[in-house]
Amino acid sequence: MRSILLTITILLLCSPIQVFSEANTEEANSLEEADISEAQEVLFNVSNFKPGDSFTQVLIVKNSGQEDFEYNAKSNFTAGYKDLYEQLLVKVEDANKTVLYEGSLSSFSKFASRSLVSGGTEDLFFTIVIPDLDNKFQGTFCEFEFGLYVEGTIGGILPADGPKVPSIGPGMTDEIITSTSAALFTGGMMFYLLQRRRKQIKNNEIRP
């Protein structure tokens, strides 16, 4: 079978969201929403990937709020060839190599909740794997979102009109490939998803 070549561009973007819990609604209502408009970050721009290849990105999650919280993550298909999205695999690990999720990208709806103290940070490793695919996928693409959210807040769904996050496939345009910052504001707690390190890692290079 001929190699199926894919161009892969990964973007990470979280639009500002503000939510309140019953316990401190009064306090939360006094907070102003952070001004983080037009927040985007190019996490990957890799070409000529084929079945069996994988790529990994390290995300640094920081709690810049004054309270501890628990957070989670999910993926969501947004555009392109859905069959391709449903074929992709994802693995999420923490800095201790503990696997938080491994399996179908389309089934990634959460992992075991992560606790993060005020001012704390932690690294998450996201690895996308391209499985064996037949030739019908050649030249196709898909877009999907990775959303990080505080537990108990609107199910972690990003605004419907928010930008798309990762894109996989050929023909990515300059309008998609931008480079600014990324952040998510939720009820006085702020996630900063900071890209500090970039890694392009094949299967045999990812932690043995």
Distances (CA, A) of 132 to 39, 52, 53, 112, 136: 34, 6, 9, 29, 12
Q: What is the pLDDT of residues 140-185, one digit of tens each?
A: 777 777 777 776 544 433 332 333 344 455 443 322 222 222 222 2
Is the confidence at residue 15, as pLDDT, over 50? Answer: no
Size of the chain, expressed as the number of residues it contains: 208
Beta carbons of 185 and 192 less than 8 angstroms apart:
no
How far apart CA 65 and CA 1 sit, in angstroms, is: 52
What's the whole-model pTM score? 0.60
Q: What pLDDT sits at residue 98? A: 95
Q: What is the pLDDT of residues 52-79, one digit of tens each?
A: 888 888 877 777 777 788 888 888 887 7
Q: What pLDDT sits at residue 96? A: 95
Average pLDDT, the chain: 60
Which one, of 71, 78, 107, 76, lies nearest residue 90 by Cα? 107
